Amino acid sequence: MEELLEILRDIDDSVDYEKETALIDDHILDSFGIITLISEIEEHFDIEVDAAEMTPENFNSAQAMWKMIQRLQEN
C-alpha cells in the first residue's frame, strides 16, 4: 500500500490519499493523471489493467486501487 501511495504522491503531492474517497468523482485525478498511474502500477505491481477495470469505483480512493491491484495479482 505504501508503494501505491508513493506513486500517487509522485503524481500530485497536494492530496491526502489516505482520506480522499472521490479522486475521480471530484476530478482530483484527471484523465492524464490516470495515464501515468496505470503505467506506474502495472510496472510496480506486475499486473495488467484492462478496459473493464476503468471504472470510478476502482480509482476513487487509494484503498479501492489497492483492492483492485491485489485482485489482479491473484488472477
Partner 1 sequence: MAIHTNLYLLVFLPAVLIIYQLVPRKARWGVLLAASYALYISFSKYLVLLLMATAAFTYAIGRWMDKIGNDCEEKQKECTDRKQKSEVKKAFQKKRVTALRVGVLVLLGILFYVNYYNFVAQNCNIFLGKIGAQLPMAKVMFPMGISFYTLEAVGYMADVYWERYPAEKNLGKLALFLSFFPQIMEGPIARYPDTSDALFAGEPLRMENLNEGFLRIIWGLFKKMVVSDRLTLLTNHIFDNYKEYHGSFIVLAAIAYTVQLYLEFSGSIDIVIGSGKFFGVTIPENFNQPFSAQSAAEFWRRWHMSLGNWFKNYVFYPITVSPMVKNWNKMARKKYGKYWAMVGTSAMALFPVWVATGVWHGAGWKYLFYGMYYFVILLLGVALEPLKEKRNKMLGIDPNAWWFKTLRILKTWVIIFTGELFFNAKNLTAGFHMFFSIFGNFHISSIWKYFPDVITAGDVWAICVGSVIVWIVGFLKENGVDVRGRILGARTRYKWGIYYLIIFAILTFGAYGTGYQPVDLIYAGF
Q: Which residues of the chain form contacts with partner 1 (CB under 8 A)?
A: 27, 30-32, 34-36, 38-39, 42-43, 49-55
Q: Which is nearer to partner 1, 2 or 32 (CB)?
A: 32
Residue corresponding to grid cell 482530483? 28
The DSSP result for 11-57, as a single string, is H-TTS-TTT---TTTTTSS-HHHHHHHHHHHHHHHT----GGG-SHH
Q: Which is nearer to partner 1, 19 or 32 (CB)?
A: 32
Tell me the closest approach of the beta carbon of residue 32 to partner 1, in angstroms: 5
- Reading the block at residue 59, the C-alpha cell is 480509482
Tell me the closest approach of the beta carbon of residue 70 to partner 1, in angstroms: 17
